Structure 1
Amino acid sequence: MTDHSHAGLHSDAGARPGEHPGRARNPIVKVLDLAWLRFEKPDLERAETFAHAFGFSTAARTAEELWLRGVDAGPPCVLIRRGRRSRFVGPAFRADGAADLLRLAEAVGSRVEPLPDRLGGRRVGLTDPSGLRVDVVAETALSTALTGQPDRTFNFGHAVQRINRTQRPIREPARVQRLGHVVVQTTRYRRTLDWYLRHLGLIVSDFLYYPGQRDRGPVLGFLRCDRGSEPSDHHTLALTLGPSNRYLHSAYQVTDLDALAAGGEYLRDHGYRRSWGIGRHIQGSQIFDYWRDPDGFLVEHFSDGDMFDNTLAPGWAPMTASGLAQWGPPVSRDFLGVAPGRDALRELRAIATALRSDSEFDLHRLRGLMKVANS
């Protein structure tokens, strides 16, 4: 029997007349990439132990801070400061240079500030419409590359490249290469989306909308950096509408499926909890594997993602749970945030608050979300 469960979910269709164009006409600057993510956690020792099992290396460590890096040359991927509770502080995006920082600072009435000496460079501090702290940085210090996992030779079908040699991936941490993207939820989706397009020059790769609610506009956008003719990750930032403003997950590239799968076995052997995977997404095409760190943050290994230049217009597709992957296990309740526990209870309280406020998450949107969760 032919499976048609993914029919219409591949975003082959573009926008209809009058729908959101997915980019700003004259953005203030065009950032090049994510630089790093900032977190606060009470137990840096526990965070570092998980980070090494996940595939990070320690870039710097003090009594109050932990900086984590991948094997690629560049700044740290993750900056963690000791705090009373675990929380996501915000992302930093990399600008093209000092001139862009000055232009951005003048446009928003802010100022260019120096970063700590170990990071180097300068920053402009912003706050998005959801209240999230967003830094735009330039001229940061770049560490040299580390040794990564070796490239493997594959026999794809009849294209035989490996002869008289075996394939034996080692069950070890999947060595993170780089930070890929971050996903956040916002109660002010349209305002926040337009803010990132206007201030940072991001452009939309794909829009998703609740089934039957396309006329109300999208509720999820996958945003990439506009590097002109140079390809960029399908999404560097993803924004989704929800009853609270919160971090959903961040993603880190590894070399290939073998590294991802063997690294997952290593994490499982060491007692860590898989949230969802292994599978391949539809929007973005990444092979994925999601894990919960000891503080409850969702983190993703990914490989083989789509790369787009700035000529592609946004795709449009309905949002469904089954449409989150081309293949793999069914999406888990943990990944969807509906597994019983403190997080689900917190989100239920947020729903009650959102329905009494002027947020975009109203009763009609709640019905759409419930339809997605049950799809």
Structure 2
Amino acid sequence: MREIDIPAGAAPADVHQGLHSEAGALRGEQPDRARNPVIKVIGLARLEFVKADLDRAERFARDFGFVVHDRTPDLLSLRGTWSALPCLVVRRGRRAGFAGPTFLAESVEDVRRLARWAGTNVLPFDGGQAVRLTDPSGLSVRVVAGLAPPAALPERDPLDWNVGMKPVRFNATQRPPRAAPEIQRLGHFVLETTRFRRALSWYLEALGMIVSDFLYLDALRDRGPTMAFLRCDLGSVPTDHHTMAMHLGPRTGYVHSAYQVTDLDAVAAGGQYLAERGYRRVWGVGRHIQGSQIFDYWRDPDRMMVEHYADGDLFDSSLEPGWAPMSAGGLSQWGPPVSRDFLGSTPGPALVAALVRALGDGTNEIDKDTLMALAKAMAA
């Protein structure tokens, strides 16, 4: 992680004021962190996918802005420009899908501690040590330590903006390249789950993550939150507003992943570059509320949703979570209306089948009232 300069004596502010519910948490409601977590992960190392056509996956990856770190007939490893581990790994398989996230632990001892807690073994992994777990949603989660990241790659500097009464650019023009943007790093990923409360508690307890924002369904406020944005707990060191997010829904699995680029021009010009090559935009360009990122969402050729973003919030551990009602209109401060594709509410056989399965499973958190409340929130 790059060093960040924090103004001396800066005091935490109520960063949620004006954007969130005044009610906040109810007594006895879901806590935003575990009192004594097993370990505290320090970052998100990579995501893994399975795809049938690695040549096609590589073409999209280069157009999206990744750098190929390694390529074999059965594996595609991708990285950004920063000195960080390769952030996306694609393995050859018959059916496209998400294989799971890999988080970074502070030490090998933390990996061993987590393995003892889970009753499983530590395994060698790319020169380090790893433990593989399964979260309450059934997702495979790996935690690693002892890995050596590659050196940083050259990248363009952020553009200097002439703003208001404090211009900084003289006798110079702005000519950002119309090309694939330079992915700097993996930022976060989002999951949908039918077992939201159990999964959330697991990430807080096992991995020591803390919640930046909770969302709830207005019609079912007494049932607690239905979405959470989780960040790593690095104490006084600011970190991304969310490294992962999860929300309650009728399906379980991957929703999207997000990759940081240099600035607004990289987001916008990168989107134009993708559009010119025939890829389909899902939603954007806009600015989120929770996390504040400038965003642009796309589908890759296997219909996996991926995001370019810039200018995200950074929080340290002193900030308490915000609380807000869950709604489609509450996803952005500005930008085009959110699409059905982004919300996952496009009618079709797959959605109907998921609804039927969810309602037929008495062990999850989905019932008719929840589905009605979710539909109402996504229409709001």
Shorter-normalised TM range: over 0.9
**Alignment-mate amino acid for residue 290 of structure 1:** Y
Structure 1 moving runs of 4+ over 6 Å: none
Which of the numbers 28, 36, 56 marks the counterpart of 1:26? Answer: 36
Match of 1:367 in 2: 372
Measure, in 1, the Cα distance between the counterparts of 2:35 and 2:355: 34
Match of 2:218 in 1: 211
SS at match of 2:257: strand
Per-residue deviation, 1:246: 1.2
Measure, in 1, the Cα distance between the counterparts of 2:22 and 2:267: 28
Measure, in 2, the Cα distance between the counterparts of 1:11 and 1:103: 38
Measure, in 2, the Cα distance between the counterparts of 1:194 and 1:373: 25
Measure, in 2, the Cα distance between the counterparts of 1:10 and 1:55: 34
TM-score for both structures, normalised by structure 2 = 0.93
The yes-or-no answer on 1:353 pairing with 2:360 is: no
Measure, in 1, the Cα distance between the counterparts of 2:374 and 2:23: 22
Summarize the Cα distance change of 1:213–1:23 in structure 2 as closer, same or farther, 3 Å threshold: same
Per-residue deviation, 1:181: 0.3
TM-score for both structures, normalised by structure 1 = 0.95
Measure, in 1, the Cα distance between the counterparts of 2:76 and 2:310: 25
Match of 1:244 in 2: 251
Per-residue deviation, 1:11: 5.3
Measure, in 1, the Cα distance between the counterparts of 2:20 and 2:336: 18
Match of 2:147 in 1: 140
SS at match of 1:316: strand
Summarize the Cα distance change of 1:356–1:8 in structure 2 as closer, same or farther, 3 Å threshold: farther
**Cα deviation 1:86-131 (Å, max 9, x = unaligned):** 000000000001110111111111111001xxx3211000000111
Match of 1:151 in 2: 158
Whether contact under 8 Å (1:56, 1:176) holds in the other structure is: yes
Which residues in structure 2 correspond to 1:177-256 (within 5 Å)? 177-256=184-263
SS at match of 1:130: coil
Summarize the Cα distance change of 1:144–1:102 in structure 2 as closer, same or farther, 3 Å threshold: same
Provide the aligned length of Structure 1 versus Structure 2.
Answer: 363
Measure, in 1, the Cα distance between the counterparts of 2:75 and 2:191: 24
The yes-or-no answer on 1:16 pairing with 2:19 is: no
Which of the numbers 51, 65, 68 marks the counterpart of 1:58? Answer: 68
Whether contact under 8 Å (1:321, 1:331) holds in the other structure is: yes
Per-residue deviation, 1:338: 2.1
The yes-or-no answer on 1:127 pairing with 2:137 is: no
SS at match of 1:102: helix
**Alignment-mate amino acid for residue 80 of structure 2:** G
Measure, in 1, the Cα distance between the counterparts of 2:243 and 2:150: 21
Q: RMSD between aligned alpha carbons?
A: 1.3
SS at match of 1:326: strand
Which residues in structure 2 correspond to 1:69-80 (within 5 Å)? 69-80=79-90
Whether contact under 8 Å (1:128, 1:192) holds in the other structure is: yes
Match of 1:317 in 2: 324
Summarize the Cα distance change of 1:48–1:366 in structure 2 as closer, same or farther, 3 Å threshold: same
The percentage of aligned residue pairs carrying the same residue is 57
Which of the numbers 104, 118, 137 marks the counterpart of 1:94? Answer: 104
In the alignment, structure 2 segments of 5+ residues that lack a partner are 1-16
**Alignment-mate amino acid for residue 368 of structure 1:** A
SS at match of 2:350: helix
Measure, in 2, the Cα distance between the counterparts of 1:251 and 1:166: 30
**Alignment-mate amino acid for residue 128 of structure 2:** G
Per-residue deviation, 1:214: 1.4
Summarize the Cα distance change of 1:218–1:175 in structure 2 as closer, same or farther, 3 Å threshold: same
Whether contact under 8 Å (1:211, 1:318) holds in the other structure is: yes
Which of the numbers 326, 336, 348 marks the counterpart of 2:343? Answer: 336
**Cα deviation 1:235-282 (Å, max 9, x = unaligned):** 001011111211000000001000110011000011111000000000
Match of 2:334 in 1: 327
Per-residue deviation, 1:149: 2.4
Match of 1:48 in 2: 58
Per-residue deviation, 1:337: 1.2
**Alignment-mate amino acid for residue 354 of structure 2:** A
